[in-house]
Amino acid sequence: MLCIHDNYYSGYYELSKKTGIPIGELLKDTPFCASYKMPPTDAADPCPYDDEDGNIFLYGSCNLFAKALHLTFDYQVFEAITGTDNHWFCKCAYFDRGLYIDIRGATSDFDEFSRPYRFMVSSNKPMPIIRNETDMNFNDEAWQDTGMIYALSIVSSHKHFYGDFS
């Protein structure tokens, strides 16, 4: 974990700070694998994960990634909602700060965390809806099983990005 100006960074945040490579470019190193595909019984649409990379969990399936983090680390899941915009993420305590966690890793820097989501104005602005596992079925997503396998594979191969902070 990297500390800069009293803010903590891990995962792709840390890699980006050390290398100067944008996080979106780094997430391209987590490509979708066809072996993750679990075809749903009633999907009329093609698999949204084909030809995708980890960026899909930043701008689309963030809810499934938050659920994968919850299942792996038992983090609380939050959904920040403003109007029609939303972003799902997890939070946990880290020393005297809270960490915001999503596909990019963990950070205590709320400004950096919320930058892609302009609707999140301050750490007090998100309207958190804490959902337990039974509230996170996402039955309206035809390809949710495929997305969960993909998300869990990223979390399990990068556990140090998302947990076990010391």
Largest distance between two CA atoms of the chain? 50
- The answer to whether residues 68 and 36 touch, using CB atoms and an 8 Å cutoff, is no
- The answer to whether residues 154 and 72 touch, using CB atoms and an 8 Å cutoff, is no
pLDDT tens sequence across 4-49: 888 899 999 999 999 999 999 999 988 887 667 776 655 566 777 7
pLDDT tens sequence across 44-84: 667 777 778 899 998 888 999 999 999 999 998 888 776 66
- Strands (DSSP E) contained in 21-158 are 76-82, 85-94, 97-102, 105-107
Residue type, position 72, single letter = T
More confident position, 131 or 126: 126
